[in-house]
Amino acid sequence: MNAKVLEERLIHIYRHLHQYPELSHEEFETTSRIKEWLIDEDIRLEETILKTGVVANIGNNEGPVVAIRADIDALPIQEKTDLPYASKIRGKMHACGHDFHTATAIGAAYLLKKEEEQLQGSIRLLFQPAEEYGAGAEKVIKAGHLEDVEAIVGLHNKPDLQVGTIGIKGGPLMAAVDRFKVVINGKGAHAALPHNGNDPIVASAHIITALQTIVSRNVSPLRNAVVSVTRIEGGNTWNVIPSSVTIEGTVRTFDKEVRAHVKERFYTILENIFNTFLMEGDIKWYEGPPPLINHCSLIEAIESGAKSAGLETIEPELSTAGEDFAHYLEKVPGAFAFLGTSGTEDWHHPSFTINEKALIKGAYFLYSSAKYLLQQQHDVLKI
């Protein structure tokens, strides 16, 4: 199919996915449709133990294997875009553009299939479930789909970049994501008689203030970290001191050393405040994906792919958002790029949109980058 026909088909695929979003590990219909769209072009599906998600291969069984990854899940957000193809599922929306990622990867698959006989190895397509909440990348790895992969490439839409541009850089690109939940247990009392209790609200105020010193006083200003308290809950009326307060929040970092140091300081601060105020505390730390660190050795091949796709490469800003593609990069060399989509709002916003002109750009970028990576790995292995 020519570029115009391909673009029209990708728009159709994208709009269908957008209308029928499915949350992490619920992507059964999405999985079924992806399989249909691949089978339509005689693209070979691979067996998998994954309950949702699709793995496919293009090429021969000789030579290196390069993977293309796209995530497929949506978010529990009520859409507010007024698009003619807006979500038909109440309370669910593709507010992070995973429908866009899936469509571009299918487009790359169609382009690669036309050149299957000429490929110097194989391209593996990973349509990954559960990026948002379900540790999908780790499940793909445990299922064995990365074991023979020499390199991997992926992209994420970037609403604040214009269509036709792409952000590519070696080294850190996106943050490690950790979540915390702290329950501060004191002793309730009448507000008029606070000495009869042990006020967890006062303790929580000290905790929230002290946590801000981790970034300002414990992390070098030449490095990056974010500590945000995003929820505080305690008490239910004006004249009673509650017995407990709950706070929640997130920590974002860009390297393992800073990540470990911030966690250590977090626990030290809380334990000291608990002791100072004679409180009992329950601390839960939920470790998310690691920092996404692109392999510098692959950036030249990725930039060549972008150039072949007619894209302007730029130096992207670091993003404090997280991305479980980072798990793949801890296993095999790879790179992740930000593709400009001229969006109206940022990720996870109910009015999030993308410019559909970016679909064909993304498809050609993944197609070209995969071929350059395949050639690079072929040369390295001297096959």
Q: Which residues pair with 71 in a beta bridge?
A: 128
Is 156 assigned to a binding site? yes
Is 98 assigned to a binding site? yes
Residue 167: what residue type? Answer: G
By three-state DSSP, how is residue 274 classified? helix
Cβ-contact 328, 69 below 8 angstroms: yes
Cβ-contact 341, 159 below 8 angstroms: yes
> According to DSSP H, which parts of the chain are helical?
3-19, 28-39, 98-114, 136-142, 200-213, 256-276, 299-308, 325-329, 358-381
Give the tokens for residue 312.
Answer: 């302007």
Is 348 assigned to a binding site? yes
What's the chain's length in residues?
Answer: 383
Spatial separation of the C-alpha atoms in residues 90 and 350, rounded to whole Å: 12
Spatial separation of the C-alpha atoms in residues 246 and 311, rounded to whole Å: 48
Spatial separation of the C-alpha atoms in residues 106 and 14, rounded to whole Å: 10
Calculate the CA dihedral of residues 42, 47, 49, 55 and round it to 10 degrees: -40
Instruction: Please enumerate, by residue number, every residue annotated as part of a binding site.
Output: 96, 98, 132, 156, 348
Instruction: Please enumerate, by residue number, every residue annotated as part of a binding site for Mn(2+).
Output: 96, 98, 132, 156, 348
